[in-house]
Amino acid sequence: PSEDAARVEEIKRLLKAHNAVLVAHYYTDDAIQQLAEETGGCVADSLEMARFGARHEADTLVVAGVRFMGETAKILSPEKRVLMPTLEATCSLDVGCPEDEFAAFCDAHPDRTVVVYANTSAAVKARADWVVTSSIAVDVIEHLKARGEKILWAPDKHLGGYIQKQTGADMLLWDGACIVHEEFKAKGVEDLKSVYPDAAVLVHPESPEAVVSLADVAGSTSQLIKAAKELPNEQLIVATDRGIFFKMQQAVPDKTLFEAPTAGNGATCRSCAHCPWMAMNALDNLAAALREGSGEIQVSDALRTQALKPLTRMLEFQA
Ligand code: 13P
Ligand code: SF4
């Protein structure tokens, strides 16, 4: 702990020295989220991270999260230096949607509007008409459906299926999944609910349909935190990465939060619902990135220009 305290002080000093700001996702370690809060940075969902980074006047953005978040920040702010604690932090959705195969899928369906989840590479975004995050996905698809458009959606099949159900849009889905959310089990949530019948169930829609169907509220990380505050229930069962408990518990200090089970027998598995790539962000590599300028995100001009269009559509979209 004293080593951590020294690291925290070093990071605070380096952030100032480089006119840098820390932008952290809700799934990163508590210490990183706290540091972002204390230093005037932000702790947010993927959409708010993108907005915050694009608006901020810092010279350097330090993005604690996964690679697509750093790339998005760089595409939106090419004049800023964007550093990440590690460039190894990817996402199973990004990995499961390679650029070439995705391009072939799009080529095979030229009549469809291409909408991709933010959890994709810059190259995949460059091929899209729209980028969306989970907090505005339903609204954007609703809007496109109203214009009579048919959708090609990638990469998350669970989120895509959820949006399809909510909107009734004609959507062709890529077959990708989040390895973290896919582990939640409906049986486990039902068993926990039978022990705590008054608990509300909060679910991120990257989870399987059977789990989402048990939700009182399904939504992005920021929407789930908001729901935790607004719901009258004193107990909440939460099906998303456990990193969210830091901010959620701050938001509802008197409520009891339960991790949704990742095993069918109702037992909670403390190590399962945590993204291995988010977990790669630590105080040590964060300090090193600032000290050495390591983990810098680069996006070529050609890719940036193409990927900026669907990203700008997302940021300018008003439901
Ligand atoms: P949010 O946009 O809800 O923060 O989700 C990002 C993510 O990677 C969820 O797994
Ligand atoms: Fe990707 Fe899932 Fe990790 Fe989010 S939690 S970054 S969707 S692997």
Q: Whose CA is nearest to atom 5 of ligand 2?
A: 275
Binding residues for [4Fe-4S] cluster are 91, 178, 275
197 and 239 fall within a common domain? yes
Instruction: Note the pLDDT of residue 319.
Output: 75
Q: Tokens representing 88?
A: 């190894």
Query: pTM here?
Result: 0.96
Asked whether residue 317 is domain-assigned, the answer is: no
The answer to whether 64 touches 70, Cβ cutoff 8 Å, is no
Substitution site in 66, 220, 225, 248 for ligand 1 pocket (most atoms within 8 Å of beta carbon): 220
- Helix or strand or coil: residue 119? coil
Q: Across all residues in the chain, what is the average pLDDT?
A: 96
pLDDT digits (tens, 9 = 90+) for 187-229: 999 999 999 999 999 999 999 999 999 999 999 999 999 999 9
Asked whether residue 35 is domain-assigned, the answer is: yes
CA 94 to ligand 2: nearest atom: 1
83 and 98 fall within a common domain? no
200 and 231 fall within a common domain? yes
- Helix or strand or coil: residue 139? helix
Asked whether residue 269 is domain-assigned, the answer is: no
Ligand nearest to the CA of 137: 1
Asked whether residue 37 is domain-assigned, the answer is: yes
Q: Of 141, 159, 177, which one is at a domain's C-terminal end? A: 177
Report the Cα–Cα distance between both ends of the chain, in Å, rounded.
46
| Beta strand 20-25 pairing with 42-44 | parallel
- The verdict on the CB of residue 119 being under 6 Å from ligand 1 is yes
- The verdict on the CB of residue 31 being under 6 Å from ligand 1 is no
pLDDT digits (tens, 9 = 90+) for 47-73: 999 999 999 999 999 999 999 999 999
Instruction: Provide the pLDDT confidence category of residue 303 given band limits of 50, 70 and 90.
Output: very high
- CATH code for the domain of 232: 3.40.50.10800
222 and 253 fall within a common domain? yes
Binding residues for iminosuccinate are 25, 46, 117-119, 134, 204-206, 221
Question: Which of left, alpha, beta for 202 (phi over 0: left; psi -120 to 50: alpha)?
Answer: beta
170 and 188 fall within a common domain? no
84 and 104 fall within a common domain? no
Q: Of 129, 150, 177, which one is at a domain's C-terminal end? A: 177
68 and 110 fall within a common domain? no
Instruction: Note the pLDDT of residue 318.
Output: 81
Q: Whose CA is nearest to atom 2 of ligand 2?
A: 178
Give the residue numbers spanning the domain of 14.
2-89+278-299
Q: What is the dihedral of CA 183, 49, 134, 71, to 10 degrees?
A: -80
Query: How many Cα atoms occupy the beta-carbon half-sphere of 130 within 13 Å?
Result: 25
Instruction: Note the pLDDT of residue 268.
Output: 52
215 and 283 fall within a common domain? no
Is pLDDT at 267 greater than 90 in this prediction? Answer: no
Instruction: Note the pLDDT of residue 301.
Output: 97
Substitution site in 180, 181, 183, 207 for ligand 2 pocket (most atoms within 8 Å of beta carbon): 180
Instruction: Note the pLDDT of residue 258.
Output: 94
Q: Residue 87 — φ and ψ, nearest 5°?
A: -85, -5
pLDDT digits (tens, 9 = 90+) for 71-106: 999 999 999 999 999 999 999 999 999 999 999 999
Binding residues are 25, 46, 91, 117-119, 134, 178, 204-206, 221, 275
Asked whether residue 142 is domain-assigned, the answer is: yes
Lowest mean pLDDT among 118-127, 195-204, 266-275, 284-293: 266-275
Q: Which residues pair with 236 in a beta bridge?
A: 200, 257
Is pLDDT at 270 greater than 60 in this prediction? Answer: no
Is pLDDT at 260 greater than 70 in this prediction? Answer: yes
CA 57-60-64 angle, 5° bins: 110
49 and 63 fall within a common domain? yes
147 and 200 fall within a common domain? no
pLDDT digits (tens, 9 = 90+) for 133-161: 999 999 999 999 999 999 999 999 999 99
Q: Whose CA is nearest to atom 7 of ligand 2?
A: 178
Instruction: Note the pLDDT of residue 264.
Output: 47
CA dist 223 → 203, 226, 313 (Å): 10, 5, 21
Q: How far is CA 57 from the centre of its chain?
A: 23
Q: Of 177, 200, 234, which one is at a domain's C-terminal end? A: 177
- Helix or strand or coil: residue 288? helix
Is pLDDT at 263 greater than 80 in this prediction? Answer: no
Asked whether residue 319 is domain-assigned, the answer is: no
Q: What is the ipTM of this complex?
A: 0.97
Is the bond preceding 155 in cis, omega lying within 30 degrees of 0?
yes
Asked whether residue 122 is domain-assigned, the answer is: yes
How many domains does the structure of the chain reveal?
Answer: 3
Q: Which residue has the tokens 């509802």?
A: 252
Mean pLDDT for 256-262 is 93
The answer to whether 212 touches 219, Cβ cutoff 8 Å, is no
Q: Which residues contact 151 (CB under 8 A, 6 or more apart)?
A: 112, 113, 115, 141, 144, 145, 169, 170, 171, 172
Mean pLDDT for 18-47 is 97
49 and 69 fall within a common domain? yes
Is pLDDT at 126 greater than 80 in this prediction? Answer: yes
The answer to whether 97 touches 154, Cβ cutoff 8 Å, is yes
155 and 187 fall within a common domain? no
